[in-house]
Amino acid sequence: MKLHFFKRTWPKPKGQSLVEMTFLLPILLVLLSGLIEFGFMLNEYLSIQDAVRNAARFASDSDYAAAETVDASGDLPCDGLPSNDVFPQQMCCNRTTDFYRQTACLVNQELSLLAPEVKTTCLQTDATGDCIYGVIDPNDGDTSKNDIILSVFSVEQGTPPILLRFPPASSGNGGEDGWSYALAYSGYNTRNQSSKFSTTEVRDRFSGSAPSTGVLLLELFYNYAQKLKLPWITAFVPDPVTLHVYTFMPLVSAEPTPTPIP
């Protein structure tokens, strides 16, 4: 008996891949655009982080004790003489002996080198019109705006360590909030941000057996404006996004002065 086998054939699908791609393509585009946008933001975050660290390294060599006296007197050498020599103009930055203003100027100087990748407001151009000195605009943003916050700690060995925070709250620009660049900015004079670190939190970072030292805390609040501004990203991520970078740096000139033996 001879058996006959019949091969069953199925109809070939038509357009199946096209339908699958129709469903998957929007999802892939959303993911890809999100990766691109967050890539831009991460790149700027790393750039401003490097700028803050470089500025803090320079500031760590400054003579804080001398600047502290200038802060207390309130008589700063670049307040209105001449009338355009005001903070944070480059002329003021070149003349001031105020530690906090000097450090903020260093941050702006580093950020100027990153323009236009990092958004700055140009205050001085060269003969060809190219910007040679720019600063972050304290008025940039909606509710959360740009600012540079500085705090200096004099740490005395002990269990727990004894911390003095400068400038003091009595100076009008200091205390637990830290020194504010926006509050010192001539013509703006409004605090935008406050330090994210309390004195207690900083003290908890030190061991009671550690030697007495001085420390600079430098913080930068920077508004990143989204590059693509796509509605499916701005619906979930605010535009601009406030980036917060900070660094702690030793500051030898802020070490507590030992009491002399009588």
Tens-place pLDDT, residues 117-162? 899 999 988 888 888 899 999 999 888 899 999 999 999 988 888 8
User: What pLDDT, on the 0 to 100 scale, is given for residue 174?
Assistant: 92
Cα–Cα distance between 88 and 102 in angstroms, integer?
9
Residue 123 is given by DSSP the state E
Averaged confidence pLDDT in the chain: 86
**Is residue 260's pLDDT more than 70?**
no
Mean pLDDT of 174-182: 96
Residue 249: enclosing H or E segment and its boundaries?
strand 241-250
User: What pLDDT, on the 0 to 100 scale, is given for residue 66?
Assistant: 54
77-114 pLDDT, tens digit each: 676 667 678 899 988 888 888 899 999 999 999 999 99
Residues 6+ apart with CB under 8 A from 218: 52, 55, 56, 59, 103, 107, 148, 149, 150, 246, 247, 249
Closest to 59 (Cα-Cα) out of 92, 100, 89: 100
* DSSP string across 15-53: SHHHHHHHHHHHHHHHHHHHHHHHHHHHHHHHHHHHHHH
Residue 218: enclosing H or E segment and its boundaries?
strand 213-224
Cα–Cα distance between 52 and 197 in angstroms, integer?
16
pTM: 0.87
Closest to 218 (Cα-Cα) out of 248, 192, 174, 244: 248
Domain boundaries, the chain: 21-254
Percent with pLDDT over 90 in the chain: 53
23-48 pLDDT, tens digit each: 788 888 889 999 999 999 999 999 99
Report yes or no: 136 and 146 within 8 Å, Cβ to Cβ.
Answer: yes
* DSSP string across 131-152: EEEEE--TT-SSSS--EEEEEE
* DSSP string across 137-199: -TT-SSSS--EEEEEEEEEE-SSSPEEEEES-GGGSS-GGG-EEHHHHSTTT-------S--H
User: What pLDDT, on the 0 to 100 scale, is given for residue 64?
Assistant: 84
**Is residue 70's pLDDT more than 90?**
no
Residues 6+ apart with CB under 8 A from 184: 87, 100, 101, 104, 173
Q: Please count the other Cβ atoms lying within 10 Å of the Cβ belonging to residue 219.
A: 20
